[in-house]
């Protein structure tokens, strides 16, 4: 079993996530979050939201279903759909673009595509016979419902922000820079979704659109001096601080600011620094709306996988919507009037959630599995065990548990099986602390607290547990010398 498979197995068994609709045979590209996964995902969302709230972000929540004019303006109708070619002899399918010679030009519609295929005598790369079939393949899901037509499921949440730009700006009292945030689903008709939460057709995204004055630097990077891995499009990997990357002109200052925010969020989620790198898109892989893009990638079994995309969308979206809708999308600042430029960090919440499990997974020397989750990302902050299920030890444990859960509901009680079995169970779901009541607890009001990674124990007064904030603190028990 690869580590990926082991994590998948644990996630299914313990209820983090599993394939959707399995009683009807399942369908690829869709996953359910189980009880623990739901809690974990909530914690990722909270970490993300709080990070941007601290920067003064304003939020919005717009529909998944979006009418066609929005995507005409955004360019998705034109550019997000591909013209595909199919060989009628051997059945080979591919993007038509990939078969065309350099001098043919890119067809804008089916008619043009047919002409070009005819003119350049395009052949199938597999069997060599002439291509005769071309058709439109849209990566957006199109809805057909009664007399309502021309509706699409949005492929990104961003357009919901752009179309509301003026209203949001008004809410923000006209101030720029303005950071806007939207959490929600995006839908992409992936050709072959795979690998569980890594590649889905319905994805949970956290998107930020930062509207900026294009003439100045809008943010100051506060750098804690840690060196980060970059792979710029020169393909020469480098390690440096984010401020240094700006000084070296490897990346624009405001763009870099959001790389540093992203790095902080991933670190707050417990992802190890060595598992993170920022990779710059090559010019030929940039999407139709962006002029520069850096992906935060996370390492899995030696492969780097895009988890956050941080794109410089420039004035593309607002000027297109201004053009298509007739609404002015400008901002006044002093005697200047301009369309703000946009930096967009787009977070794949599902991938982040999965990588948190993957990155934190390890096996002890005895083979037992442990999720080394950050204390405030873990579904439960602590578990309560009675060492004995009798003589009032259980009653005491339960009564303290009931009291604590009023302060912090993310706690769990377990009295089943041996104590070792219970520790192991909590290790597998990443619970950082297990609190055990024994006969001494009855006599002197103390309990043992066992820390997940070191398995060390300390003894404290259980009354101290009732001090709030205990488990929300990243280091509630400094006695364990956690980092």
> Which CB, 177 or 184, lies closer to RNA?
184
* Residue 416 interacts with RNA (CB under 7 A): yes or no: yes
Q: What is the DSSP letter of 184?
A: E
* Residue 167 interacts with RNA (CB under 7 A): yes or no: no
* Residue 88 interacts with RNA (CB under 7 A): yes or no: no
Burial grade of 351 (CB within 10 A; 0-12, 13-18, 19 or more): buried
Q: What is the DSSP letter of 97?
A: G
* Residue 65 interacts with RNA (CB under 7 A): yes or no: no
* Residue 387 interacts with RNA (CB under 7 A): yes or no: yes
Q: How far is the CB of 437 from RNA (least distance, A)?
A: 7
382-386 and 411-413 as β-strands: parallel, antiparallel, unpaired?
parallel
* Residue 19 interacts with RNA (CB under 7 A): yes or no: yes
* Residue 156 interacts with RNA (CB under 7 A): yes or no: yes
Contact residues for 288 (Cβ-Cβ < 8 A; gap 6+): 75, 79, 80
Report the residue from 35, 56, 91, 273 that binds RNA according to the rule CB under 7 A: 91
Structure tokens at 99: 């078969």
Are 19 and 11 in contact by the 8 Å Cβ rule? The answer is no
* Residue 417 interacts with RNA (CB under 7 A): yes or no: yes
* Binding segment toward RNA, per CB under 7 A, in 62-70, 171-179, 238-246, 381-389: 381-389
To 5 degrees, how large is the angle CA 228–CA 232–CA 237? 60
To 5 degrees, how large is the angle CA 176–CA 177–CA 179? 120
* Residue 394 interacts with RNA (CB under 7 A): yes or no: no
* Distances in whole angstroms, Cα of residue 469 to Cα of each of 171, 377, 426, 430, 446: 33, 14, 21, 19, 19
Report the residue from 421, 461, 472, 474 that binds RNA according to the rule CB under 7 A: 421
* Residue 424 interacts with RNA (CB under 7 A): yes or no: yes
Burial grade of 111 (CB within 10 A; 0-12, 13-18, 19 or more): exposed
Q: How far is the CB of 224 from RNA (least distance, A)?
A: 31
* Residue 450 interacts with RNA (CB under 7 A): yes or no: yes
Q: Is residue 435 within a helix (H) or strand (E), and if so which, with residue range?
A: strand 433-437
* Residue 287 interacts with RNA (CB under 7 A): yes or no: yes
Spatial CA neighbour of 343 closest among 312, 317, 319, 309: 312
* Binding segment toward RNA, per CB under 7 A, in 208-216, 312-320, 336-344, 444-452: 444-452
Report the residue from 53, 191, 458, 463 that binds RNA according to the rule CB under 7 A: 191
Q: How far is the CB of 106 from RNA (least distance, A)?
A: 13
- Interface with RNA (CB under 7 A): 4, 9, 12-13, 18-19, 25-29, 76, 79-80, 82, 91-95, 98, 139, 155-156, 186, 188, 190-196, 199, 285-288, 366, 368-369, 387-389, 416-421, 423-425, 428, 436, 438-440, 447-448, 450, 455-457
């Amino acid at each position: 079993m690869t580590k990926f498979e082991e994590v998948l197995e644990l996630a299914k068994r313990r209820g983090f996530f599993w394939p959707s609709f399995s009683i009807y045979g399942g369908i690829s590209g869709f996953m359910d979050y189980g009880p623990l996964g739901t809690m974990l995902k909530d914690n990722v969302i909270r970490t993300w939201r709080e990070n941007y709230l601290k920067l003064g972000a304003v939020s919005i929540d717009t529909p998944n279903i979006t009418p066609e004019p929005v995507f005409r303006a955004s360019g998705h109708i034109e550019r997000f759909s591909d013209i595909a070619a199919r060989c009628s002899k051997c059945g080979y399918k591919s993007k038509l673009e990939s078969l065309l010679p350099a001098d043919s030009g890119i067809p804008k519609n089916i008619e043009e595509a047919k002409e070009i295929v005819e003119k350049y005598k395009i052949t199938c790369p597999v069997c060599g016979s002439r291509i005769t079939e071309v058709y439109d393949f849209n990566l957006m899901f199109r809805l057909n419902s009664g007399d309502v037509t021309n509706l699409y499921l949005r492929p990104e949440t961003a357009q919901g922000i752009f179309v509301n730009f003026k209203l949001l700006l008004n809410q923000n009292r006209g101030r720029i820079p303005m950071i806007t945030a939207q959490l929600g689903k995006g839908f992409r008709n992936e050709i072959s979704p795979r690998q569980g939460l890594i590649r889905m057709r319905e994805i949970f995204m956290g998107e930020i659109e930062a509207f900026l004055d294009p003439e100045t630097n809008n943010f100051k990077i506060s750098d804690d001096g840690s060196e980060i891995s970059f792979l710029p499009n020169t393909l020469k990997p480098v390690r440096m601080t984010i401020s240094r990357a700006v000084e070296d002109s490897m990346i624009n200052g405001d763009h870099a600011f959001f790389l540093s925010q992203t790095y902080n969020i991933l670190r707050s989620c417990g992802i190890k620094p060595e598992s993170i790198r920022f990779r710059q898109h090559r010019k030929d892989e940039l999407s139709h709306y962006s002029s520069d893009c850096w992906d935060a990638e996370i390492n899995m079994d030696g492969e780097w996988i895009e988890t956050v995309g941080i794109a410089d969308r420039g004035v593309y979206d607002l000027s297109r919507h201004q053009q298509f809708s007739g609404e002015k999308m400008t901002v006044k600042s002093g005697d200047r009037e301009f369309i703000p430029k946009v930096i967009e960090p787009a977070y794949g919440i599902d991938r982040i959630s999965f990588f948190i499990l993957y990155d934190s997974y390890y096996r002890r020397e005895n083979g037992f599995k442990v999720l080394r989750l950050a204390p405030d990302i873990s579904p439960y902050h602590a578990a309560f065990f009675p060492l004995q299920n009798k003589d009032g030890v259980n009653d005491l444990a339960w009564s303290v548990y009931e009291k604590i859960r009023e302060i912090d509901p993310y706690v769990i009680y377990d009295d089943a099986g041996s104590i070792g079995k219970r520790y192991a169970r909590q290790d597998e779901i990443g619970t950082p602390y297990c609190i055990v009541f024994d006969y001494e607890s009855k006599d002197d009001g103390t309990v043992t607290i066992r820390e997940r990674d070191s398995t060390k124990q300390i003894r404290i007064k259980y009354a101290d547990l009732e001090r709030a904030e205990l488990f929300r603190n990243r280091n509630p028990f400094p006695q364990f010398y956690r980092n």
